[in-house]
């Protein structure tokens, strides 16, 4: 019996994990079999919220609760207008960041532990049964990842990229805590880029339609 819908996957990773570059490789490899989209953003309205979150002059001073609310708002629009229609077309979807990033960044990195239980309630409210089939985590040591970021001179950094190594260490702990609750695969992103690509493709092929 054929699957009625596509499968929903998430690619996660800390800063400097090579996530964006790996997504380009995955797009080349899988082509139209996989719709690659991103968070925050991925739909017209969510992209407007993305700009507010990352590019506003006042974004850095906003607290975790404010970012938390904005990310969920963007996610709701992204899910409704991009992800679910693609899955209904029996297309696989791979999202560059998803709810796992909200958990890692806002609950852990921004040290808003009071949001931890609320996060899971929001997840149920906004996503319901529309949860990812599997998360793929590009795990990189924060110090290595930040060093890579600093070498990427052409890339414009947002205020999260510019935080110190302690922030990114807390973020990694948040990812690892989140992944205790969901199906996931870890890829060692400290390895050479091409090695990571081959490992990631092999891992994705186990689950993709």
Residue stretches of the annotated binding site for ATP: 13-20
Asked whether the predicted pLDDT for residue 93 surpasses 60, the reply is yes
CATH number listed for the domain at residues 8-206:
3.40.50.300
Would you kindly state where each structural domain of the chain is located, as residue ranges?
A: 8-206
Contact 122, 76 (CB under 8 A): no
In this prediction, residues 140-145 reach a mean pLDDT of 87
Q: Which residue has the higher pLDDT, 41 or 150?
A: 41
Q: Kind of pairing, strands 134-139 and 8-13?
A: parallel
Residue stretches of the annotated binding site: 13-20
Of the candidate ranges 77-81, 87-91, 164-168, the one whose mean pLDDT is the lowest: 164-168
CA distance 166 to 113: 16
CA distance 29 to 32: 9
In this prediction, residues 173-183 reach a mean pLDDT of 98
Q: What is the mean pLDDT of the chain?
A: 92
Asked whether the predicted pLDDT for residue 152 surpasses 80, the reply is no
pTM higher than the cut 0.95: no
Residue 145 is predicted with a pLDDT of 84
Residue 59 is predicted with a pLDDT of 84
């Amino acid at each position: 019996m054929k699957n009625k819908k596509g499968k929903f996957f998430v690619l996660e990773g800390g800063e400097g994990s090579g996530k964006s570059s790996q997504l380009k490789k995955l797009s080349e490899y899988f082509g139209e079999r996989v719709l690659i989209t991103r968070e925050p953003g991925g739909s017209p309205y969510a992209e407007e919220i993305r700009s507010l979150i990352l590019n506003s002059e006042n974004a850095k001073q906003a607290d975790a609760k404010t970012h938390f609310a904005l990310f969920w708002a963007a996610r709701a629009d992204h899910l409704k207008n991009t992800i679910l229609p693609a899955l209904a077309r029996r297309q696989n979807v791979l999202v560059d960041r998803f709810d796992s990033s909200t958990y890692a960044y806002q609950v852990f990195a921004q040290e808003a532990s009071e949001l931890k239980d609320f996060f899971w309630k929001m997840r149920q409210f906004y996503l319901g049964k529309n949860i990812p089939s599997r998360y793929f985590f590009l795990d990189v040591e924060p110090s290595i990842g930040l060093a890579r970021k600093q070498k990427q001179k052409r890339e414009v950094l947002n205020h999260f990229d510019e935080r110190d190594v302690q922030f990114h260490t807390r973020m990694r702990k948040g990812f690892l805590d989140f992944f205790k609750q969901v199906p996931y695969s870890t890829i060692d992103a400290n390895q050479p880029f091409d090695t990571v690509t081959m490992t990631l493709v092999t891992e994705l092929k186990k689950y993709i339609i």
